[in-house]
Amino acid sequence: MPRLQSGVWKHFTPAIKEGRETFMCNYCLKTYTKNATKMQMHLDKCKEYSMVSQQSQGPDGSSSASIPVPSFSFLPSATPGGQFLIDSVDQRSQAHADECLARAVYATSSPLTLTDNIYWKRFFSVLRPAYCPPTREVLSSHLLDCEYDRVQSQVHEAIGKADCVTIICSGWSNVKQTGTIIYMVATPVPLFYKRTTTKEQTHTNAFIAEELKDIINEVGPQKVFAVVTDGSPEMMAAWAQVEETFPHISAIGCTVCGVQQLFDDAVATPSMKALCRRAEQVVRYVRERKMLAETFRCWQTTKIGNHTANGATLALPINSDWTGVVNMFNSLLEGQNSLQEMAVSPTIDVEASIRATVQDASFWKGLSGSRNLLYLIGNYIEYMKREDAVLSSVVDMFSQLRYHIGASLSGSVLHSAEQKAVMASLDRCQEFCVKPIHAAAYMLDPKHVGQQTLSGEQINNAYYVISNLSHHLDLDEGKVLGSFARFSAKQGLWKGAGIWSSCQHVSASTWWKGLCSSEPLSAVASAILQIAPATGACEQLRSRFCNTKVQGSFSADRVQKLVAVQANLNLLEPSDCEYAPLESEEENKMTFQSETQ
C-alpha cells in the first residue's frame, strides 16, 4: 500500500533557488529543503500560520485556512491532487530582473532598503516565488555602478548630439565648512555632470575657473556658448578667466539668485526688519496660547465659511525662501478683523503690547503695502524658476520689475533713504543678471520684434555678440547681419503674417531651427536662445546632496552616483521597446510542463 502524503506540503510552495529544490512557507516565507518533519515542526511554531488558522476555524474545529499560493495566468493549473508547479529563474532572467528593479528604485528615489522589507518580500514571492530580489548592499554597489555607467553613457551621447550647450554651476558650504559645487550641462535639457567637494581648500575663483574650463574642454568648446553661475564672489571672479580662455563664451549670473538678493536686501532694511519683528510677535503670541489660537481659528472659520481655509491659522516665517515672510504677512492680513475683535473683547485677555500693535492702523497699512512689495519681487523669482523660463525674457522682466517696484515702494514701510537703497539694489541686480547676450536673445526672439525696450548701448552690445558668434561658427558676418536686418524689418522670409503667428506656438529656438534654417542668422539665433537663464536645475539637486541620512549611509562617491542616476534617469526617457520580456509565455509553459512531468 503506498505511503500517504503528509498534509504539510499544501502549506509550502516548491521553488528552485540557486540550483536547489526548496520549499517556502506560504505564511512567513521561510525556506526548507525537502523534509516533511522539519517543515511540520516549523508550521507548529509559525506565528503567521497560527493567526490565519485561528481566523479560519470551521464549525467542527477544523481549519479551513486558505493557502496563499502564487498563481500565474500563463501556467497550467495545479492538479487536483495538490501538486504544485515548480518555479525557477535562470541566471540571465535573474540579472535582467535585478537591473529593472534597481532602475525603478533609483528613478523613483525609493529607499534602497525597500527589498529588505517583509511586505515587499512577500509581494515578490507572490509575483515570482523563485526570484530573489537584490539586497540593499547590492543595490548600492554593483547594480548602482552598472546603472551609473549606463546613464552616464546616455548623458555623454545626448551632449554629443547637441549643437549648443550651457554649463550651469552652483555651490554652497555646510556647517562643517565643506564646499560643494554642482555642475550641469543643459542641452537644453539640464543633465547632471559632476560634483566637486573639498575639505582641505576653499572653492577659490581660480579653482572654479579651472573646473569650468576642464568641463568646457571635455564637452567641446565649439558647442558651449554660455556659463551660468550663482552670485557668490568666487563664481563671479571666475567669469573673466573663462571668457579670456574662450572669447565666444558668455559668463552670466543666475537671474533667480539676483532677484532673490534684491528680495533679501528689501527685507534687511531697518524699517522692514522692525515690521517683521512686530508681525512675528503677534503671530507667536496667538499661536503659543492654546485658548487664543482656538478662538482665532473658530472666528476665522466662521468668517471664511470654509473649515479647511488657510486663513484659519497664523503662519510663522518657517520657509527659508521668500514665501516665509510673505505667508506670515498674508495670514495676519486675512485674520485682521478677528485679531482686532479679540483685542477689544472683554472676555479675552490680551497683553497690552500685542493689543496696541493689533489696534495700530499704521501697522496694518504698512503690513499691506510691504506685503505687496515683497510679493511682487517674489513673483518674479518664481517666474524665473519655471522650466519654460528663457534668456530672452530677462530684459523685459527687469523693465517690468523696475516699473512695478517704483510704484510699490511708496506704500511700504520703507522711508525715503531705504527706498533709494532698494532701487540701488535693483541696479546691482540688473548689472549682475543682464549681459550683452541677454540683449541679443531679446532682439532675436520673434515675440519681441518691434518692441522698444533696449538702450542704444545694449543694442550695440547685442550686435557685437552676434558678430562674435558668427566668427566662432565660421559664418559670413556680413550675411548674418544682413539676415538680421531683414528679420528686424520683417522682409524676405519674414514678410508674411503666418510665420510671425507661428512663434506663439513653439519655442524661439525651435522657430529659428524649423522655419528659418535657410537664413544665415539661424545658427546664431538658435544657439543664443537655447541658453538657460538660471541655475534652478542645480538648486533642485541640492536637497538630495544635503540629505544627512543618505550622506551618513554612503560614501561621497556612492552619493554622487545615486544622485546622478536619479537626476538623469527621468530626463533620458526610455523607449517602449528598450527592455525585452524575461521569457515568452510559450517558453514558460514548456519549461514548467517539463518540470512537472
Output the pLDDT for position 34: 83
- Listed residue (441, 432, 380) closest to 166, CA to CA: 441
pLDDT in tens, 419-430: 999 999 999 999
Output the pLDDT for position 15: 72
By percentage, how much of the chain surpasses pLDDT 90? 57
Output the pLDDT for position 198: 74
* Count of C-beta atoms within a 10 Å radius of residue 376: 17
pLDDT surpasses 70 at 84: no
Question: Which SS3 state, helix, strand or coil, does residue 57 take?
Answer: strand
pLDDT surpasses 50 at 89: yes
Output the pLDDT for position 180: 86
User: Where residue 82 falls among pLDDT bands split at 50, 70, 90?
Assistant: very low
Output the pLDDT for position 354: 94
Output the pLDDT for position 458: 93
What is the three-state SS of 252-295? EECHHHHHHHHHHHHHCCHHHHHHHHHHHHHHHHHHCCHHHHHH
Element (H, E) at 21: strand 20-25
Output the pLDDT for position 66: 41
- Listed residue (138, 126, 93) closest to 24, CA to CA: 126
Q: What DSSP assignment string belongs to 153-212? A: HHHHHHHHH-S-EEEEEEEEE-TT--EEEEEEEESSSEEEEEEEEESSS---HHHHHHHH
In sequence order, the 6+-apart residues with CB closer than 8 A to the CB of 492 are 486
Determine the average pLDDT of the residues in 2-30: 72
Output the pLDDT for position 573: 64
pTM beyond 0.75, yes or no: yes
Query: Cα–Cα–Cα angle for 408, 413, 417, nearest 5°?
Result: 85
Output the pLDDT for position 39: 86
Output the pLDDT for position 67: 40
* Count of C-beta atoms within a 10 Å radius of residue 172: 17
- Structural contact between residues 591 and 88, judged by C-beta atoms closer than 8 angstroms: yes
**DSSP letter assigned to residue 225:** E
pLDDT surpasses 60 at 62: no
User: Where residue 201 falls among pLDDT bands split at 50, 70, 90?
Assistant: low
pLDDT in tens, 300-331: 888 766 544 556 789 999 877 899 999 999 99
Output the pLDDT for position 86: 60
Question: Which SS3 state, helix, strand or coil, does residue 331 take?
Answer: helix
In sequence order, the 6+-apart residues with CB closer than 8 A to the CB of 518 are 493
State phi, psi for 88 to the nearest 5 degrees: -150, 150
Output the pLDDT for position 46: 85
Output the pLDDT for position 18: 66
pLDDT surpasses 60 at 473: yes
- Cell digits of residue 252: 552670466
Element (H, E) at 374: helix 361-385
Compute the distance between CA of residue 20 and CA of residue 32 in angstroms, rounded to an integer: 10
Compute the distance between CA of residue 280 and CA of residue 363 in angstroms, rounded to an integer: 13
Determine the average pLDDT of the residues in 154-162: 92
pLDDT surpasses 90 at 403: yes
- Cell digits of residue 122: 512577500
341 burial level (CB within 10 Å; 0-12, 13-18, 19+): middle
Cα torsion for 519, 521, 523, 527, to the nearest 10°? -140
User: Where residue 592 falls among pLDDT bands split at 50, 70, 90?
Assistant: very low
* Count of C-beta atoms within a 10 Å radius of residue 505: 8
Question: Residue 355 half-sphere exposure, CB side, CA atoms within 13 Å?
Answer: 11
Compute the distance between CA of residue 222 and CA of residue 219 in angstroms, rounded to an integer: 9
Question: Residue 486 half-sphere exposure, CB side, CA atoms within 13 Å?
Answer: 16
- Please name the residue that has the C-alpha cell 510673505: 326
Question: Which SS3 state, helix, strand or coil, does residue 17 take?
Answer: strand
In DSSP terms, 17 is beta-bridged to: 20
Pairwise pLDDT comparison (111 vs 583), residue with the higher score? 111
Output the pLDDT for position 6: 65
Q: Is the peptide bond before 581 cis (omega within 30 degrees of 0)?
A: no
Output the pLDDT for position 553: 65
pLDDT in tens, 240-249: 999 999 999 9
Compute the distance between CA of residue 61 and CA of residue 74 in angstroms, rounded to an integer: 37
Output the pLDDT for position 364: 96
pLDDT in tens, 483-498: 999 999 999 999 989 9
Output the pLDDT for position 305: 63
pLDDT surpasses 60 at 56: no
User: Where residue 547 falls among pLDDT bands split at 50, 70, 90?
Assistant: low
Pairwise pLDDT comparison (472 vs 109), residue with the higher score? 472
CB under 8 Å, gap of 24 or more: what pairs does 427-430 form?
A: 428/261, 429/258, 429/259, 429/261, 429/262, 429/398, 430/258, 430/398, 430/402
pLDDT in tens, 554-575: 777 888 888 899 888 877 765 4
